Structure formats: C-alpha cells, structure tokens
Structure 1
C-alpha cells in the first residue's frame, strides 16, 4: 500500500516540476522586470513552499482515496474536485510565466481558490486530517492570489492601458 501513498504524494510534483522546467528562464528575465508589491516573499521561498504544499496535498488525496476504498463512485466528487484544482494549479505557471497573461492567471487562481475550498468541503466528512493538510495550501493560495492580483493591477498590458 505504500506504493499508492507514494504515487498520490508524488503526483502534484509532476505538474509543478514541468511548469517550472518550461518557464524557469522567465523568472530572472521577464518576472524580475515586473512591478511587485514590497511584501512579496523572496524568490527562494517559492520552491520550498510548493514542495511542501504539493507533498501535503498529495498525501491528503491519498488519505481520501484510501478511506473511499479507491476510485469508487463515492470518490468521483471528492477526487474529481481535487483533480480539477490540481489542473488549475498546474495551468497557472504556464499562463503567468509562459504566456505572460496576468489577467488570465488571476482568473485561473481565483477559480483554483474556489475549487480548493470545494475540495476541502467535500473531504471534511471523509477524512478530517486530509482536510487539515490542505489548510497550509489554502493559506499560501491566499497570498498567491493577492500577489497575482497586485502584479496584474500594477503591470497593465498595452490593451489594458488603452481602456
């Protein structure tokens, strides 16, 4: 059974790694040219935070999967919500860093925030520990959403400047 725990725990890291790998050159170039709020954490904090959060959310998803006896019909909503939020999580990096679409990244992260709340709500009756393991992720998303909003607001595109 440890292979399942490892697989679920490792899964979120896959999309996180791919997002970083394909956009890593944008941080020292494009990202550093943007106006950012003074309260933004240093760049070196982000990989540490995301490694911890991906591990926590992945293990939490394993706990829910285990308590629902695998991918049964009972697991469709709780694990479907988890999968949907994971997809939006993985999409944010290429949207923000790859495509430089700040407004779309903001829309993505607001939707992500809502899906994380829905995931936690669906998990609570199944496994309270799994739900609690998602709290640091929700806290970090609060910061990340605020940061995304401020960067979008303070760095209007040419089209937004015309409006």
Structure 2
C-alpha cells in the first residue's frame, strides 16, 4: 500500500461531514444577522461565534469514527452496510436542518429534523459500539450537543410563534 492510499480514507471520512457543514454555513451566514437576530432566544443560548467551532469539532470526531468503523469492518461490504448506512442517514438528516431552520425559517420543522437526527445518531452510536467502542465514544459529545440543540430549537419555536422575516 502506498503512502497516499494508506491515509486517504481516514482523511476523506474525517472531512466528509464538513461538506454539508460548509454548505449549511452559507445559508446560516445569510440569516444570522437578519431573521435569526430578531428571534427570541433563551438566556442560555450559546453565543453565535460558538457554533462553528463546536460543529467543526463534532463533524471531525464523527467523521473519524466512521473511518474507524469502515476500517474495522474491512471497507464497504455487507457487514458495514448497517453501521455506515445509519451514519449516512443521520448525516443527511443533520445536513437538512440548516436549510429547514435558517433557509425556510421553519423552526418547528427544524425541531422535527433534529429529533430524527438524534434518533438516527443514537442508533448509529449503538451499532458502532458493537464494532469499535472508540468510534461510539466519539459520538457522545455529538449526542449531547444534539440534545442541547433540540431544546434550544424547541424554545425558539415556542417563543416565536408568529415571527416573520424582517
């Protein structure tokens, strides 16, 4: 195995989640100082600057965890279909939240997307635990953040029932 083919999968898997994060960031940047700024938010809402580094860290850890599962199971095959399929599903759900919440200004539907993401991420973590415990542990901070994000999304939805675009 040459040098590039030895490290390329690890880098690719680790960077993959960032693709959707960067695309979502384009939507968020348009709305953060517009519609979102005028929403009622709870006092415990993290400051805006905190979201990018947190998501960057979480995307990196879940991406690396997916690489560990892929490597442990010998690549894409019958054994890896469920754990990596669950991962792909939760990642797609994760990426859907930003266009729903920020792009469409639909906090209620954003909450639905977050709850589905949390369920799929939990199932992913459980399936990974049976393959590679480290990969599952790498998902724990993500699950904690999804819980916080869900409660925050719920509060924004409930506290802004008629908030229209400024």
**TM-score normalized by structure 2?**
0.93
Q: Hey, what does 1:85 align to over in structure 2?
A: 90
Q: Among residues 57, 70, 76, which one is paired with 1:71 in the alignment?
A: 76
Structure 2: how far apart are the matches of 1:21 and 1:98? 10
Q: Map residues 69-148 of structure 1 onto 2, 5 A cutoff.
A: 69-148=74-153
Q: Confirm or deny: 8 A CA contact 2:17 2:63 kept in the other structure.
A: yes
Q: Map residues 16-55 of structure 1 onto 2, 5 A cutoff.
A: 16-55=21-60
* Structure 1 unmatched ranges of 5 or more: 159-163
Per the TM alignment, residue 24 of structure 1 is displaced from its structure 2 partner at its CA by: 1.1
Deviation string 1:122-160 (CA, Å, 9 cap, x unpaired) is 1111000000000010111111010000000111137xx
Per the TM alignment, residue 108 of structure 1 is displaced from its structure 2 partner at its CA by: 0.4
Structure 2: how far apart are the matches of 1:151 and 1:95? 14
Per the TM alignment, residue 21 of structure 1 is displaced from its structure 2 partner at its CA by: 1.2
The count of residues paired between Structure 1 and Structure 2 equals 158
Deviation string 1:9-34 (CA, Å, 9 cap, x unpaired) is 00000000001113311001110100
Structure 1: how far apart are the matches of 2:162 and 2:93? 23
Q: Confirm or deny: 8 A CA contact 2:94 2:114 kept in the other structure.
A: yes
Structure 1 residue ranges (4+ consecutive) displaced by more than 6 angstroms after TM superposition: none
Per the TM alignment, residue 105 of structure 1 is displaced from its structure 2 partner at its CA by: 0.3
| Pair 1:3 & 2:8 matched | yes
Deviation string 1:18-69 (CA, Å, 9 cap, x unpaired) is 0111331100111010000000010011001000000000000000000010
Q: Confirm or deny: 8 A CA contact 2:27 2:102 kept in the other structure.
A: no
